[in-house]
Amino acid sequence: MWVWGLLPDWKSYHIVSLGRIALALTEHEIQELDLHSIDTISVLSQQTEWTLAQARSILQGFLEDSGQTISTLKSFDLVGLGAILCALNSTEIMSIRTAEFSAAVARIGLLFCSTPVLRQFKKMTESVFGDATSWNSSILQEIGTIAGGLNEDELRAFDKNLMPYFPPIAVRRIPPEIFQALSPEQIANLGPENAAIVTRSQREHLNASQLQSLQLALDGARTSTPETQNSSSATQAVQTPAPSGE
């Protein structure tokens, strides 16, 4: 099948030239490759359709061939691993050095990992920025999808005026059963962009009051004053308007 000879003899340029064809490699074939270079891994990680078994093989191959462990990885290694980080287990995530995680957190926040993985990244983020309930707008914007790992109590604790600062990519990652913990006031303050990104499954978990607030957010009602709202229910949902500036 392979025209470049035995897998262990492949050079980095062979591996990176595969593109999507690399997805056809089995986890056993991946284990035979020379994956010592983070540059090679960075190219492989651009493919987002790896199975968990394939991603684990790439991760283990890199660690073994480069002589590293999770705890010795630098921030540029974390950035290079990209989507492969979604294959980490909770123990591995918590063994990442805080300083290195901090330097790479914005890039990690672009990954679409599973909820359990995002929850572990959220714990790591707390070791950098403090308890999740104390995060401000700049932190929310920096951490991206990691905000999708917040639990019900943490999400409910956020001031409604912070809601527009949740990145849209994070809003989509919040599980429906967690998303429904948001108050009508929080939902009304999501802002049009975030409201438009709410998934059907998330909507299906909302009650009538929350759905009304979602419509207010879609309509851009966040910046309206209570006096301009004709209905008392709309006034109640908006309550105190958020400042128009940051």
CA torsion 105→111→114→120, rounded to 10°? Answer: -10
Mean pLDDT of the 171-196 span = 96
How far is it, in rounded angstroms, from Cα 231 to Cα 133? 32
Q: What is the pLDDT of residue 177?
A: 96
d(Cα 79, Cα 38) in Å, to the nearest integer?
A: 9
Tens-digit pLDDT profile for residues 111-157? 999 999 999 999 999 999 999 999 999 999 999 999 999 999 999 99
Which is more confidently placed, 143 or 240? 143
pLDDT of residue 33: 83
What's the predicted TM-score (pTM) here? 0.81
Q: In the prediction, which pLDDT does 16 show?
A: 65
Cβ 182 vs Cβ 158: under 8 Å: no
pLDDT tens-digit readout, 26-67:
788 888 888 888 999 998 888 888 899 999 999 999 999 999
